[in-house]
Structure 1
Amino acid sequence: MANDLSTPLTGRKRKPGAKRHLPIARTLFAVLALIGIAFAIRLVMVDDPDGGRPSEEVAITTTRNANEVANAVSTEPVTITADPQQFPAGSSITAVDPGTSSAGSISGLPDMFGALPDLSEETADGPIPRISAAGMKPFDAYARPAVAAVASGRPMIAIVVTGLGINEQGSLDAIDQMPEDVTLAFAPYGKTLTTTVAAARAAGHEVLLEIPLEPFDYPQNDPGPQTLLTGEPPRANLDKLFWLMARFGGYVGLINNMGARFTASGADFSPVMEELGARGLGYLDDGSSNRSLAPQLAQGNRVPFSRADLVIDANPSRQSILAALASLEAKAVENGHAIGIVSALPISIAAVSEWSRELEAKGIMLVPASALMK
C-alpha cells in the first residue's frame, strides 16, 4: 500500500476494466470556436448585404396601359352603345349643370332623401326643411298643384291618410290604391321611410309628417319616441322637433299625432309654431281636441293652417265609413270645403278609394290638403 501511495500520479496505470471519461466540455468549446472563426471569415471574405437570406429576382410587368377602352378615351372619341331597355329609342337625356349644394344632389332637383337642396338645412340629426335664399317655402315647393280645382268654384274635399310608414307593405298598398289628390301622412318611425315616402311622391301624392304630441293621459297613452311634452324647456322640445323633422324630406307640413294637452298649452306650443313659420311649413290639426290653440298660433306666425272636420273611420266598418264620407260631402257642400282624416286600415283604404271614383260626378272636387290650407 505504501508503494501505491508514493507512486507518482503520472505514472499510475489504469486498472483493467476502468471506464474512459471523454472531455465533453473541451470538445464543445472547440466546436463553438470553429463556428465563430468560420462566421468571421465569411463576413470578411464575402460581400453579401442580405446576410445570406434567400432572395429571387422576378420581372415586374405593368398593367397601366392594359385597358384599351381607357386608352382610347384618353386620346380620341369613343362611341358607347347603351342598353336599349334602359334607354329606349327616341328618348332623350337632359343635361343639367352640376351645381351641387350637397353630396349626391344637383341644384334644383330632389336628391335621394326627397328634399330639394336649397330647401334643406343640415343639422346633427340630418337635413330639415328651411326657406330658400330666394324665398321659396317648402309648403309651396312640395304641395300638389290644385289650381284648376280651386278655380272651378265647386265644393272641395281633402282626404288625409295617417299612420303610414311603419308597415311598409300597407303603406305601398295605400299609395297604389289612393287617388293622386289624397294627401298621405307618415309617422316618423318606419325603417323604410325614405323608400315609402319617395314612392308616395313619385305617385303624385303630397305628404305630411306626423309629430307625436303629449295627450292628457301621457304616458299611459304614449304617441311614440321623441314626444313633445309640456313643462319642458323650449330648447328640449325644439331638439325633439328637429329629430322628427329629419326622418325624411319633401313634406308640405306637419300634422299632430294626439297632443290634446300639448296643443292647449300656449307656452309649449308657441315655440313650435314659430319654428314652422320660420321654416315655411304648414300645420294641419287633426281636429281631435277643441282646446287646441293651433288656429291662433298659426295665424300669428303666418303658418298655412287648416283643421280636419271629421275622422272617417272612427268606427272601422264599411257601412260606418261610407256614412262618414256622406257627412263629409254635406259639410263640403255647406261650407265650400271639408277635410277628412282616415287611417291606413285596408278596409278604410278600399272604401275611400271606391267612394272617390264617383265624387266628381256629384259636383265635388277631390283636392290635396294643402289646397285648403292656404
Structure 2
Amino acid sequence: MTDLSAPLVRRKARQAKADASAGSALPRRHIPVTRIAFGLVALIAVGVTARIMLVDDPEGGRPSATVDIAGSNPANSVAGAVSMPLGEVTITADPEMYPVAPDAVPEPADTALIDPAALDPEMLEETEFGAIPRISGTGIRPFDVYSRPSDTPATSGGKPLIAIVVSGLGLNTEGTLDAISKLPEEVTLAFAPYGKTLERTVGAARAEGHELFLEVPLEPFDYPENDPGPDTLLTGQAPRDNLSKLFKVMSSFPGYVGLINNMGARFTASGADFGPMMEELGARGLGYLDDGSSNRSLAPQLARANRVPFGRVNTMIDANPARAPILAALSDLEQQARDKGYAIGIISALPVSVEAVTEWARGLGERGIEIVPASALMAGEQS
C-alpha cells in the first residue's frame, strides 16, 4: 500500500516516526570568521592607541640618540666648527641587535663662547631692515654683554696693555676664516656690513672667542671719488635719512660691541650730522671706536656727551703693508703702551698683516705686555 492510499492515521504515525529520526541528528553550525577578524583588528588598534596616550615612552625603552648632521666637512677647522646643521635625526635601535655604547652619542659642541644673548629678543629691536641692537628692558647694554672679559688699565697691576683691531673682515670668506684661525683670540675683529657670508664668518669669529665690531661707512672729504660703500652716511642730509642708513648697516649681524668708522673724515667733523648718530649709539648701549685717521673728528666730545663707551686707535700698523714695516710699527706700539699704560693698533685684513701680527704676538707675554680686546681700553679712554 502506498502512502497516498494508506489511511490517514497510519500516514500520521509514519510521518511522526520520520520526524523523530531526523531530529536525533545535530544541525551543522556556521562560524562568523569575518566578524571575529574585524574584532581582533579593532582590539589591537585600541591597545596601541591607549599605549601611546598613556605611556611616556612609546618606543618601549629602546635606546635612542639625537645627532646633528652637518652639510659639509670643510678643511678649515674654524669653518668646520660652525657648519650649520641640516637638521636632527632620531635613531632608534633594537637593544639586542644594535646595542648603543655609552660613547656612541656625540658630545654637544662647546658653545660657551657663543653668547646666546646674540639672539635674545630683549637685546634686539625689529626694523624694516632686520633686527638691530638695543638696551634690554632691564638696562643691560650690548656693549657690556658682548665685551670679552679681560684685564683693564685699572686691574692690570701696571702691566702694559695692547689692543689689536683687524678691519675689513667678511668681504672675502676664505681670507676671513684664515685670519680667524691664525690670530690670537684676544684680537678684536671688525666686519664690513657687505659680506655675503657674514652669518658664517661672524659665527666663526664668535665661536673662537673674538670680540666683534661693525664697520659703518661715513663720508670722507673726497666723496664720491673715494666711496666707503653702499649706505654711506653723508653730511647735509636729514638726520632721519642718515639714521635709516645706519639702521640698515646695523642689521647686518648681531653680537657686536660697537661701531668703528670706515673713512668719514668729513662726516665725523660735522657735529650736526655726527651728533644724531652718536646719540643713537648711546641710546642703544653701543660703543664707538675711532680709527684715528682724522684729527678733526668730534667723536671724543660727542661720545662723552652721549655716554658712549669710546676709544681711539693710536697706530695704523700696516700703513706700509710689508712684513718689516709692520713689525717696526708693532714695536713702536709696544713703546706707546709702556709709556701710557695701554695702546690700540689697527691693521687691515691683508694676509701679510695677519701673518706679521700672529708672529709678533707669540713672544709678547715674555716682553711683559698683554693683548686685550678693544673694549677693555675703551673703558679706560672714557674714565
TM-score (normalised: structure 2):
0.72
Distance 2:48 2:319 in 1: 65
Q: 1:83 to 1:312 in 2, by over 3 A?
A: same
Q: Does 1:81 align with 2:85?
A: no
Shift of 1:212: 0.2
Shift of 1:88: 4.5
Pairing partner for 2:129 from 86, 100, 125: 125
Shift of 1:192: 0.7
Q: 1:303 to 1:149 in 2, by over 3 A?
A: closer
Q: 1:109 to 1:178 in 2, by over 3 A?
A: closer
Q: Does 1:110 align with 2:116?
A: yes
Alignment of 1:164-313 (within 5 A): 164-313=169-318
Contact conserved, 1:228 with 1:262, CA < 8 A, in 2? Answer: yes
Contact conserved, 2:152 with 2:376, CA < 8 A, in 1? Answer: no
Distance 2:141 2:354 in 1: 31
- Equivalent residue letter for 2:361: S
Q: Which residue of 2 aligns with 1:325?
A: 330
Alignment of 1:320-359 (within 5 A): 320-359=325-364
- Equivalent residue letter for 1:347: V
**Per-residue displacement from partner, 1:280-328 (whole Å, max 9, x unpaired)?**
0000000000000000000000000010000111111000000000000
Q: 1:296 to 1:342 in 2, by over 3 A?
A: same
Q: Does 1:156 align with 2:161?
A: yes
Q: Which residue of 2 aligns with 1:4?
A: none
**Per-residue displacement from partner, 1:184-206 (whole Å, max 9, x unpaired)?**
00000001111111110110001
Distance 1:165 1:201 in 2: 13
Distance 1:115 1:333 in 2: 39
Q: Which residue of 1 aligns with 2:150?
A: 146
Distance 1:220 1:89 in 2: 60
Pairing partner for 2:375 from 367, 370, 373: 370
Contact conserved, 2:233 with 2:242, CA < 8 A, in 1? Answer: yes
- Equivalent residue letter for 1:144: R
Q: Secondary structure at the match of 2:116?
A: coil
Contact conserved, 1:214 with 1:259, CA < 8 A, in 2? Answer: yes
Distance 1:218 1:286 in 2: 18
Q: Secondary structure at the match of 2:165?
A: strand
- Equivalent residue letter for 2:146: Y
Q: 1:279 to 1:320 in 2, by over 3 A?
A: same
**Per-residue displacement from partner, 1:235-255 (whole Å, max 9, x unpaired)?**
000000000000100000000
Q: Secondary structure at the match of 1:162?
A: strand
Pairing partner for 1:135 from 139, 144, 149: 139
**Per-residue displacement from partner, 1:254-293 (whole Å, max 9, x unpaired)?**
0000000000000000000000000000000000000000
Q: 1:88 to 1:283 in 2, by over 3 A?
A: farther
Contact conserved, 2:192 with 2:214, CA < 8 A, in 1? Answer: yes
Distance 1:159 1:289 in 2: 19
Contact conserved, 1:187 with 1:210, CA < 8 A, in 2? Answer: yes
Shift of 1:118: 1.4
- Percent of aligned positions with the same letter in both sequences? 62
Shift of 1:147: 3.7
Contact conserved, 2:347 with 2:353, CA < 8 A, in 1? Answer: yes
Contact conserved, 2:115 with 2:146, CA < 8 A, in 1? Answer: no
Shift of 1:151: 1.8
Contact conserved, 1:149 with 1:365, CA < 8 A, in 2? Answer: no
Structure 2 unmatched runs, 5+: 1-43, 69-101, 109-113
Q: Secondary structure at the match of 1:324?
A: helix
Structure 1 unmatched runs, 5+: 1-64, 94-107
Task: Report which of the two structures shows the higher radius of gyration computed on alpha carbons.
Answer: 1
